[in-house]
Structure 1
Amino acid sequence: MTGITFTRHEGADAAAQLDAFLAAYEEVYAEPPYYEGPRDVAEFVDHYQVHTRRPAMRLVIAWDGDEAVGFTYGYFLLPETRWWHNLQDVTLSEEYMREDGHRSFAIIELAVRKAWRRRGVAAGLHAHLLDGLDAERVTLTVRPEPEADPARTAYLAWGYRKIGTSHPWEDAPLYDCMVQELPAS
């Protein structure tokens, strides 16, 4: 990972960084299993702008010189979240699903451009995103297709476990929902 640097941004500063990492998003999500095109990228841009207004939203960008080679972002789940209710194959207790705006941090995106994979960039992004985070747990979703196996393998190595299959909106593909419990601070 020699030469890779990381910058962390929050709130309005994170919103202003979209152009810095959008090319990385487009490159990564054009690949299987996503096959995203211009319409999908436009939807991502719209969603990202909404996400930057969430409490404690954090963005981390990985840089190789002045080139963005990866990014990750997430935010705390709000009390009215549907995150846990989207799980299709498991019944969680009301206590487990209870959110207070500080209990669970959701990683929404974590992506590294192909030429920089398997060099520790994803682990660095993940570590910088969670650095100093005061939460009980972190959750994320990953596609179940074989193309996503390297990501799933990394998440398992970082301490995540699958708790169910998520179907987050009507036309969405299925995702494996994973959780990592964090040590008490």
Structure 2
Amino acid sequence: MTKKRTITVERMDGQAAEHAQDAFRLVYAEAFAEPPYNETEDDVTATFRRFRSQARKATFRAVLARTEDNEPVGIAYGYPLSADTGWWDQLTNPVPDDMRREDGHRSFGLMELAVRESWRGQGIARRLHDMLLDGIDGERVLLNVHPDNKAASAAYRAWGYRKVGEARPWEGAALHDVMLLDLR
């Protein structure tokens, strides 16, 4: 019989997340190497170039889940979208101007949420999500999810997210569902 391991979730600002970048990278690389993402080492490298830039934003926040042995098992991070965000420009079909309006506080962009495969099904993703969003003062949360990631899509819907469109989050990306969680 295996002993159940204790998982702790730590909230971090950008500087702390940069110091823990190896842990974030390990979780990300493992989780996104799987279908439907099939990310390569080059993809991971590009993501972590963006991560360093994102972590330098004053409003960046992250959470990292680890075992009592300090093994990283899950990550989540994001930041409020600025007034000049390109998020809405990536949608395949335009949304009303009122939905597009950003001011640096209205919408929190959930950039990544991932749990290593052997740790899934234990509520870690929900803990990461809830701790990341705890205390934000925005009206809503936005994220992109690959529609073929059925488990993630189902979890987001169960947590109250709804699909508001489809987008290609970066050049050459597969079409992703854009989901919104209303916090009001």
For normalisation by structure 2, the TM-score amounts to 0.93
The match for 2:110 among 89, 107, 110 is 107
Match of 1:163 in 2: 164
2:169 and 2:145 map into 1 onto residues whose CA distance is 12
Match of 2:141 in 1: 138
2:172 and 2:58 map into 1 onto residues whose CA distance is 27
Task: Give secondary structure in 2 for the equivalent of 1:22.
Answer: helix
2:7 and 2:109 map into 1 onto residues whose CA distance is 24
> 1:55, 1:76 within 8 Å by CA — same for their partners in 2?
no
2:132 and 2:177 map into 1 onto residues whose CA distance is 21
2:156 and 2:31 map into 1 onto residues whose CA distance is 18
Match of 1:173 in 2: 174
Match of 2:87 in 1: 83
Report % sequence identity: 45
Cα RMSD for the two superposed structures: 1.3
Dislocated runs of 4+, deviation >6 Å? none
Task: Give secondary structure in 1 for the equivalent of 2:169.
Answer: coil
1:96 and 1:55 map into 2 onto residues whose CA distance is 24
1:160 and 1:127 map into 2 onto residues whose CA distance is 13
Shift of 1:21: 2.4
Relative to structure 1, is the Cα distance of residues 49 and 106 closer, same or farther in structure 2, using a 3 angstrom cutoff? same
Unaligned residue ranges in structure 2 (runs of 5+): none
Unaligned residue ranges in structure 1 (runs of 5+): none
1:21 and 1:167 map into 2 onto residues whose CA distance is 23
Matches for 1:27-176 after TM superposition, within 5 Å: 27-65=30-68, 66-89=70-93, 91-145=94-148, 148-176=149-177
Task: Give secondary structure in 1 for the equivalent of 2:179.
Answer: strand
Task: Give secondary structure in 1 for the equivalent of 2:39.
Answer: coil
Shift of 1:45: 1.4
Cα-to-partner distance string for 1:120-175 (whole Å, 9 max, x where unaligned):
00000000000111100001010011xx1010010001000000001123312110
Shift of 1:3: 1.2
Shift of 1:2: 6.0
Aligned length in residues: 180
